[in-house]
């Protein structure tokens, strides 16, 4: 692990953003919650940050390859809408999810289509430098001219992996070479097309991130983030082309951070959920978006996280308990920096030593590669601590939430506990509940109290509350 030291007064932070051709799913959103925590950590340390997240609305070919149709064009054909409509619609869906997950807005959300002329200039400079070659299918970057190509991914370039998603391209010199410009095939007119020195066509996918980050953060900047799936291809190629473009012997970006995947084990969240559920499926099923955020923060960003119904149920229950515990402490102060937190804790009741201790623990945890599970544990511990003053506790809760972003200062318990109504259940669920109730009645008749309690606990897990009335047991959803 390396220590972070900023290179300028403002930390430049670039996060690879979404390709806006479909709804973002829960796994996609992990990358943005992770980048948000990183941003909050930098704020905690007192560093001003300029954060850029791109919106890919052109250039991302199906299967991440260099040939074939653009994802946006495929979506437009599928939905019988224009590519512009598709981009606008799914960009909004992405922003809605960011807002619901309490992700601090980036300073800029550049759209790739607005930067195509700069991308053409960038590729032309690479061509001047002699690190490219032309093929009928477009302009390609020659990775054999890039010293240290693939270092980021610790790739075995000698054995050059032919990753499943790197397709065969006629005439390509090295398997790892990639398109800077994708020329239109003869007789095929793309929906999105620009003129260039290499003919009509569209930019290669990797080009936009290099061009837009440099345009908005300067040629060199401090931190670049993205999902671990970008580490071996997209980011390796971004680095190769950027360093060839700058040709100044310096690393283009100083720190690369990648979040691991969310693993979905057939979690059944909602009837409407496709193979990979999205945030709206969770909220329709009665979970609060902050429960999903809490679930994500319960794992370290560099660890794979198993998404299961039980895990998100547990997160929802933890969120409910947290909010119920924190509500009486409100209003909370606004504490976003370590320095501010130490000062506020020191001011509390002539210096609340317990509170200062917790703030120091929070600082150690966020400094240790963003250890959010540890921060959650510290928060819980402070809430159980009999020796901390109310005022000190307010500071600790506010400081923890400045890092976690769980809306502890304003989330309403009634919103967290949005009741599901019986009509939301499908017939199989109703049948299951009623069978359990019959079994429980039978167990009680047989005076088998432990069995009856067991069944009650099972019903509680399903969110069902049973009341015994003279007319027999009645049930409702909590």
Rounded Cα–Cα distance for residues 77 and 69 (Å): 11
Q: Which CB, 33 or 273, lies closer to Zn ion?
A: 33
Rounded to the nearest 10 degrees, the angle between the axes of helix 427-445 and helix 449-461 is: 160
Q: Which CB, 202 or 209, lies closer to Zn ion?
A: 209
Residue with tokens 């909220």: 283
Q: How far is the CB of 258 from Zn ion (least distance, A)?
A: 12
CB 64 within 8 Å of CB 205? yes
Longest pairwise C-alpha distance within the chain: 88
Rounded Cα–Cα distance for residues 369 and 38 (Å): 9
Q: Which CB, 209 or 214, lies closer to Zn ion?
A: 209
Q: How far is the CB of 301 from Zn ion (least distance, A)?
A: 17
Q: How far is the CB of 209 from Zn ion (least distance, A)?
A: 3
Which of these segments, 9-17, 175-183, 241-249, 467-475, binds Zn ion (CB under 5 A)? Answer: 9-17
Please tell me what DSSP assigns to residue 420.
P
- Structural tokens at position 205: 């996918």
Rounded Cα–Cα distance for residues 284 and 97 (Å): 14
Q: Which CB, 16 or 296, lies closer to Zn ion?
A: 16
Q: Which CB, 16 or 192, lies closer to Zn ion?
A: 16
Q: Which of 33, 17, 10 is nearest to 217 (CA)?
A: 10
Binding letters toward Zn ion, positions 320-359, x by CB under 5 A: ----------------------------------------
- Structural tokens at position 111: 């759209």
Using CB under 5 A as the binding rule, the residues of this chain from 199 to 228 that contact Zn ion are 209
Q: How far is the CB of 64 from Zn ion (least distance, A)?
A: 11
Binding letters toward Zn ion, positions 155-194, x by CB under 5 A: ----------------------------------------
Q: Which CB, 16 or 76, lies closer to Zn ion?
A: 16
DSSP element (H, E) containing 133 = strand 132-135
Q: How far is the CB of 16 from Zn ion (least distance, A)?
A: 3
Q: How far is the CB of 477 from Zn ion (least distance, A)?
A: 43
Sign of the CA dihedral with 54 first, then 56, 60, and 62 last: positive
Phi-psi domain of 261 (left: phi exceeds 0; alpha: psi -120 through 50; beta: other): beta
Q: Which CB, 54 or 372, lies closer to Zn ion?
A: 54
Q: How far is the CB of 208 from Zn ion (least distance, A)?
A: 7
Using CB under 5 A as the binding rule, the residues of this chain from 12 to 51 that contact Zn ion are 16
Give the interface with Zn ion as residue ranges (CB under 5 A): 16, 209
């Amino acid at each position: 692990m390396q220590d972070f030291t900023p290179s300028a007064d403002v930390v430049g932070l670039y996060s690879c953003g979404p390709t806006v051709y479909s709804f973002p799913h829960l796994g996609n959103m992990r990358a943005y919650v992770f980048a948000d925590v990183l941003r909050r950590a930098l704020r905690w340390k007192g560093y001003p940050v300029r954060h850029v997240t791109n919106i890919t609305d052109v250039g991302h070919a199906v299967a991440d390859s260099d040939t074939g149709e653009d994802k946006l064009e495929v979506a437009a054909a599928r939905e019988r809408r224009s590519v512009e409509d598709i981009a606008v619609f799914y960009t909004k869906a992405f922003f809605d999810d960011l807002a619901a997950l309490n992700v601090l807005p980036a300073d800029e959300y550049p759209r790739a289509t607005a930067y195509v002329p700069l991308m053409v200039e960038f590729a032309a400079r690479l061509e001047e430098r002699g690190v490219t070659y032309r093929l009928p299918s477009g302009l390609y970057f020659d990775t054999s001219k890039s010293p240290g190509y693939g270092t980021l991914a610790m790739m075995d370039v000698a054995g050059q992996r032919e990753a499943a998603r790197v397709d065969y391209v006629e005439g390509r010199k090295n398997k790892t070479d990639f398109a800077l410009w994708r020329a239109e095939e003869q007789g095929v007119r793309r929906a999105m097309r620009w003129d260039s020195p290499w003919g009509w066509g569209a930019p290669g996918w990797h080009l936009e991130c290099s061009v837009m980050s440099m345009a908005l953060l300067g040629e060199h900047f401090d931190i670049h983030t993205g999902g671990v799936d970008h580490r071996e291809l997209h980011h390796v190629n971004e680095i190769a082309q950027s360093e060839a473009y700058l040709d100044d012997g310096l690393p283009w970006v100083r720190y690369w951070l990648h979040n691991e995947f969310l693993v979905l084990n057939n979690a059944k969240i909602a009837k409407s959920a496709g193979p990979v559920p999205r945030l709206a499926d969770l909220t329709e099923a009665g979970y609060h978006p902050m429960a999903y955020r809490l679930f994500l923060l319960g794992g370290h960003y560099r660890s794979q996280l198993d998404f299961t119904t039980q895990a998100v149920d547990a997160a929802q229950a933890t969120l409910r308990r947290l909010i119920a515990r924190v509500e009486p402490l409100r209003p909370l102060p606004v504490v976003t920096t370590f320095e501010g937190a130490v000062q506020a804790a020191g001011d509390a009741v002539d210096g609340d030593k317990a509170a200062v201790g917790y703030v120091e623990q929070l600082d150690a945890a966020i400094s240790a590669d963003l250890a959010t599970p540890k921060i959650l544990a510290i928060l819980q511990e402070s809430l159980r601590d009999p020796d901390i003053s109310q005022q000190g506790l307010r500071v600790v809760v506010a400081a923890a939430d400045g890092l976690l972003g769980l809306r502890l200062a304003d989330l309403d318990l009634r919103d967290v506990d949005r009741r599901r109504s019986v009509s939301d259940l499908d017939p199989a669920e109703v049948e299951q509940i009623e069978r359990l109730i019959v079994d429980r009645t039978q167990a009680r008749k047989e005076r088998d109290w432990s069995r009856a309690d067991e069944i009650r606990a099972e019903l509680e897990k399903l969110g069902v509350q049973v009341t015994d009335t003279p007319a027999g047991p009645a049930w409702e959803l909590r």
